[in-house]
Structure 1
């Protein structure tokens, strides 16, 4: 007996959240002990490695940093990462572990990719299986998947210390936070997930690419070339095509499972293959799909519980994760409902869009049959609620409202769970804004966790919140105005505008997913998106660290009768309202020109026909 699409989606969503909320508190407590205290018995195995790394690098683990020293360490470390990733790509042709003999990546693409992976964005303007060697995938990209994720977690630990400490001049040691996060959190989880993915069929090898025989030969057309290999043109100057047929296919190989694991756990996104998590070698089964979705949210959710542990009030962490969950569930349902609708553009064609035992119904374009609409819509919501960007379906093929959901989730600032670390520190910035608004309404100096929120904190909050809208909207305007930007748009009109808006939203918010209809691997887009990714990452990190330093130096204010509780339903409502009010309304005019206008077009066409 078949179930309805909505009951299938509801069951999958409930299962996903249930597992997440069962595992989250335990992992959150573990991270506090492993990273903050460093003496947890479960991390005893790694202490010799940790001490050895400190000796090799000359780091004093007991020497803490003020916020300026912490920020300089973050920037310097990541600049070195950009240089290293760029150099490896440019030297790829002469480096080992390159069985396909790939040459050097172009300068503009190398620049874009270096910043992309260092900024935890993993925007990819290239096809991985035809561009990157195994060494580049592992030494450049996978390494950055670890350390860029660890950077985000380190920054949120610094901010939490700002709330937890009082009268302090320091907020921790970046090198210690980076080391412990990588060694005790990301590495063990990645090993476990990689083994589980291999068990599901994700490949992990160093073989050369395989040429296999097809069961059925494929006929296609290709450009006709002369003896010198030049295209043959007809009298009008257009390329001449000819029929071709093949019974062979080349299958890409590589160390996929290891990169896939940290790609998901670190909310890095990207993919070993161009098809990303829609590729059967990256995501072969419905169970691997569930594992990957859980991996994306696992650390962001657990960090909310870590926050409650570190400020010694678990209710505070629960309030934050409750706010995230409310927005996420609403968005996920909206995406599912939209994708299950009949596509009005196909009206009049002999196509059955009613769900049955033989077909999924709704909008299956761009989706894998092995996942269907429910798992595809949920995956799209998860990967854009978190700053992951991995995809198991093409968002460009979603309906107008279905495509608006992932776009809006990114534009909210990637705070609905968000990236590892970056999601929580983004949401805590909104929490500061929420208590400031509440303080104005009741005529009191706003407080959050016993710390008075004053002019300096609000200046840093304003910078952190307004940076990404500035980058997205100005970047989109530039791309639409200049010829190199318009040249990459293959779909004219509202959908083409949505593709550009999505690309800038993805880059500036460090998501990395693409609408898939924009030709972005050009010098113009590689430079424009690289700038959005870099400033979208570090123009937020620096004010967040400045806020952490200011809060750590303040004394805790005793709770009084006028103190607004920040752990109940009222605060959750206020926090959700602040995110939607500031995050969403900023983009309303741009969304009206893109997905909203696209949604209204079929209705307009139908009305005109009548």
Structure 2
């Protein structure tokens, strides 16, 4: 009985908390001046930074990522010369360091390495954890830019990137992460600089157990929808996730800021009914995904390999559903161990492009592209001029909207096809092999970061091709969103009439749901049919891979 109430309680708490946190985020991002901000900006900019045009905002964003990437790459490549390295771990190979750098600056946190054995504490703390804050802050900043542009009055300046990033990191992400880290330490998640512990296992084999500042990294990995764990097996490791309470805290942390970003958008645009429609469209996808995963796993009761007995079926399947609905990628069980249908649902949720809540900020600005597309198609069907918040949608906006939606799709399909022909870095055969490769490129292009563990990613081809997919998946969407929002922001807002298409009705929600499902379904159904769907049908006939 308690297990049946777990998921409704989870959703109820999400619905209750998200609006308040979203309104707080909107207040922070649109405030005139915040405590300590004036001192910081006087030091960095000789005064409060001025608002930027879309092009200036993009230039600042690209410059910031380039500098951050160079610094992180050098940390990873030369970590053996840096402090806080008790295991004397050597620097990464250049291709793995490059892949990891791209992974963390794009909020993907794809891990082609095992953190406790291939990264020093310095690399984990000052390299990866720092980027966890900054990459999530960029997502919030871009969403703030989009929200301001929608309600602008024919101007082309919608905020300053540096100010938005500073506020997102220091006034939103940092205090929430500090609070969550304290809760996790209270549950037994380690936060230590002790030397590694030598232990004698039950089999009589001596083992070295690394210690480290784990709770601080786990908090922001979940809050910022990053997903990269301190340990290789992520939140399935008892040092990262020791109790059912720590499991719920982390699982709730995955979604509550992405859900709050929906209401951040609503507060800035003053469109509360509209964003509730968006919220429930996202929630509908999440509920359907969870139900499919849970039912599929319930029908395979002996499918226990890769599952943690510390957590129930409900806890494991909710985690799989939420982590692939968001761009999080953390795991409390191995996704490669799930039934083909459950794994296929996880893949499809990533293929949707971070719009089932998605990443912090990224889910809502990714949904913004589908909103534009839905309004445009609705206008074509009804013979009305397509308008979004009184801004007319033209060919320029539609071209960039389709570019942002389809670019990650191209990376997923072409990356999978090329890997099948050029690379043999996977262990399974048949349709499951296709599912493993497809999962990897969906995870990379969707900036998710989780994986089917059977795919051997740490190869030259894997590191470079997946790194490229991460870059496209992140920056093609950001580029398209800022150009579309900037173009709309510079247009005159027309008066609303009774005949205009309503954005705050259940009908619009149904249309939005259908557009997302049809666009992604047409793009991916053939390859899903050859992978997880075929495998599920063969397993029902007793054929396993």
Shorter-chain TM-score: which interval?
A: over 0.9
Residue 53 of structure 1, CA deviation: 2.7
1:160 shift after superposition: 0.9
Residue 54 (1) aligns with residue 48 (2): no
Q: Name the Cα RMSD after superposition.
A: 1.4
Deviation at 1:57, TM superposition (A): 2.3
Aligned residue among 1, 12, 17 for 1:18: 12
TM superposition shift of 1:79? 1.1
Partner residue, 1:31: 25
Distance 1:313 1:466 in 2: 28
**Structure-1 residue corresponding to 2:374:** 434
2:467 pairs, out of 530, 539, 544, with 530
Equivalent residues in 2 for 1:486-497 (5 A)? 486=424, 488-497=425-434
Name the structure 2 match of 1:201.
188
Matches within 5 A, 1:155-554: 155-214=142-201, 216=202, 218=203, 245-246=204-205, 248-342=206-300, 361-482=301-422, 485-486=423-424, 488-554=425-491
Aligned to 1:590: 527
Q: Is the 8 A contact 1:142 1:259 kept in 2?
A: yes
CA contact (8 A) 1:495 1:595 kept: yes
Measure how far apart 1:560 and its partner are: 0.7
Residue 51 of structure 1 deviates from its aligned partner by 2.5
Q: Secondary structure at the match of 2:199?
A: strand
Deviation at 1:60, TM superposition (A): 4.6
Hey, what's the Cα distance between the residues in 1 that align with 2:400 and 2:158?
17
**Matching residue of 2:140:** 153
> 2: CA distance between counterparts of 1:462 and 1:171?
23
Q: 1:378-428: CA deviations, max 9, x gaps?
A: 100000000000011101010000101110000011110000011000111
- Cα 1:38–1:134 change in 2 (3 A) is farther
Question: Per-residue deviation at 1:38?
Answer: 4.3
Max Rg structure = 1
TM-score normalised by length of structure 1: 0.87
Residues paired across the two proteins, number: 544
Deviations 1:518-576 (A, max 9, x none): 11111110011000001111111111111111111112111112111111111110111
Pairwise CA distance, 1:62 = 4.4
Q: 2:495 and 2:517 mapped to 1: Cα distance?
A: 31
What's 1:350 paired with? none
SS at 2:356's partner residue?
A: coil
Contact 1:364–1:372 at 8 Å: present in 2 too?
A: no
Q: SS of the counterpart of 2:503?
A: coil
* Structure 2: distance between partners of 1:469 and 1:377: 26
**Residue 601 and residue 265 in structure 1: after superposition, are their counterparts in 2 closer, same or farther (change >3 A)?**
same
CA contact (8 A) 1:340 1:362 kept: no
- Report deviation, 1:59: 6.2
Query: TM-score normalized by structure 2?
Result: 0.98
Q: 1: distance between equivalents of 2:180 and 2:542?
A: 49
Distance in 1, Cα, partners of 2:167 & 2:353 = 27
Tell me by how many angstroms 1:249 deviates: 2.6
Q: Does 1:563 align with 2:500?
A: yes
Using the TM superposition, give the Cα deviation of residue 497 of structure 1 relative to its aligned residue in structure 2, in angstroms. 0.9
State whether residues 160 and 310 of structure 1, in contact with CA within 8 Å, keep that contact through their aligned partners in structure 2.
Answer: yes
In 2, Cα distance between the equivalents of 1:592 and 1:280? 36
Greater shift, 527-536 or 364-373, is seen at: 364-373
The answer on whether the counterparts of 1:297 and 1:386 sit within 8 Å (CA) in structure 2 is yes
| Partners of 2:418 and 2:132 in 1: CA distance | 30
Shift of 1:451: 1.4
CA distance in 1 between counterparts of 2:456 and 2:437 reads 10
In structure 1, what is the Cα distance between the partners aligned to 2:56 and 2:16? 37
